Chains A and B, each alone.
Chain A
Amino acid sequence: MNDILLHVGFGHFLVLAAVLFAIGVAGVLLRRNALIVMMSIELMLNAANITIVTFARMHHDLNGLSFALIVIAVAAAEIAVGLAILIAVFRGRRHVDVDRLNTLKY
């Protein structure tokens, strides 16, 4: 127990990333506000990034860092477009409740 607490290794980072990803999944599945859903997606992307960087460090491989950088850029682009869509939806319907945005279903 003491060993786990005091000797921080790569496994700690991986487990932390897994926990963060799980929390993000829970947020996407449970919350109905589209903004919170997008924040949860960000959390999941961050968890993936932690995993990438941890493995990159583990293998002393710099390519992982480039990949993480690209993930960050894609996340930024995704958030920009997603929030723009949210604003457009909100302008039309005055809410961003993902459970009520079901017009495409029919």
Chain B
Amino acid sequence: MRAFLIVLALALGFGGVAIADEIPPARAGAPTVAPPGAPGVDGTLAPAVVKAPKDRDRTEGKGTGMALLFWACALGTVGGAIFVITRRNMIAAVMGMVGTFIAVAALYMMLYAHFLAVIQMLVYAGAIMVLFVFVIMVLNRPEDEPWALTGLPGKALAGLAMLYLTFRLGQTVWSVKADANALAAPAAVTVTLGKKVDPVTRAISQDTESYHWGSTGAVGKSLFHDYLFPFEAISILLLAAVVGAIAVARPWKDEDSPDDLNEDVPSEVVS
């Protein structure tokens, strides 16, 4: 199991680092842009210009980092799922499930469903995991040995790897120059298209459809235009679920049949 986790972490790390190494050339898509003074500069868009971002957009990415990251996420997904159905310790099963959920969120990211990836992290890896852990705490007896001091070297190694990956992530994020035009909403970018904008902004705005495909705004538009009734129905459903959960899980009062569940149960040993 530890070997599996180590392999997974290594694959994720190398995939992420490879992707991070691939990004700067694509981000500096400026060099591949036609040199200043070329015919296309005064606002007209030259299609051949945006080669690098286009290539990154396709899910069928040819990059080694992309493939490595996909296989790492696939490993995490399947490994976590197998973990769920094989562990006897239920907390371990929940942790495997959380790994699956996080890997699935990464898969959503690869499919350009950014908003759904965030929702997956919030709802599944956040709320549902907490729910499961709470129920396990209710159902299980306390552990005999709450602290695990074994395997400290592995934990130290994992911590170091985590630090390194965080450092690389921060490095990548900070190396990206924040450009007001690039950060603006798609509409604003479209507005500036007619004027003279710098090549990177133009490359990004030309790719607007792809970059904003799964964004919050796009999903929200679909959700509130075409699926408004299902959305409202979901709110009713969630309300009913909350009320139902409270009603079901509430402790039995003495007056309403306290032990009727126990009546026709063959007397079983408390497990």
Q: Do A and B bind each other?
A: yes
Chain A residues within CB distance 8 Å of chain B: 5-10, 12-13, 16, 19-20, 23-24, 26-27, 30-31, 33, 35-36, 38-40, 42-43, 46, 49-50, 53-54, 56-57, 60, 62-63, 65-70, 72-81, 83-97, 100, 103
Q: Is the CB of A90 within 8 A of B138?
A: yes
- Flag whether B244 is at the interface (Cβ < 8 A): yes
Closest A residue to B115 by CB, please name it.
A65
Q: Is the CB of B60 within 8 A of A26?
A: no
How many residues on the B side are at the interface (Cβ–Cβ under 8 A)? Answer: 75
Measured between alpha carbons, how far is A70 from B226 in the docked complex, in Å? 13
Given known pairs A43-B84, A56-B113, A63-B222, the reply for A84 and B227 (CB within 8 Å) is: no
Task: Kindly identify, within residues 64 to 88 of chain B, every residue whose CB is under 8 Å from any CB belonging to chain A.
Answer: 64, 66-67, 70-71, 74, 77-78, 81-82, 84-85
Q: Is the CB of A5 within 8 A of B264?
A: no
- Of A16, A39, A46, A103, the residue contacting B74 (CB under 8 A) is A16
Closest A residue to B88 by CB, please name it.
A33
**Interface residue SS majority, chain A:** helix
Q: Is the CB of B132 within 8 A of A39?
A: yes
Measured between alpha carbons, how far is A46 from B249 in the docked complex, in Å? 26
Q: Is the CB of A23 within 8 A of B97?
A: no
Measured between alpha carbons, how far is A5 from B136 in the docked complex, in Å? 39
- Of A7, A57, A88, the residue contacting B249 (CB under 8 A) is A88
Q: List 17 A-B contacts (CB under 8 A).
A: A27-B81, A31-B85, A35-B93, A36-B84, A39-B93, A42-B128, A56-B113, A57-B214, A62-B222, A69-B119, A76-B127, A77-B241, A80-B242, A81-B241, A83-B135, A84-B245, A84-B249
Q: Is the CB of A95 within 8 A of B268?
A: yes
Closest A residue to B264 by CB, please name it.
A103
Closest A residue to B271 by CB, please name it.
A95
Measured between alpha carbons, how far is A12 from B230 in the docked complex, in Å? 30
Q: Is the CB of A43 within 8 A of B100?
A: yes
Given known pairs A39-B94, A53-B108, A65-B219, the reply for A73 and B84 (CB within 8 Å) is: no
Closest A residue to B214 by CB, please name it.
A65
Among B81, B231, B234, B252, the one with the most A-chain Cβ atoms within 10 Å of its Cβ is: B81
Q: Is the CB of A6 within 8 A of B131?
A: no
Q: CB-defined interface of B106-149 with A at 8 Å, one 1/0 digit per residue?
A: 01101111011001100110011001100110110000000000
Q: Is the CB of B70 within 8 A of A8?
A: yes
- Of A13, A26, A70, A77, the residue contacting B107 (CB under 8 A) is A13
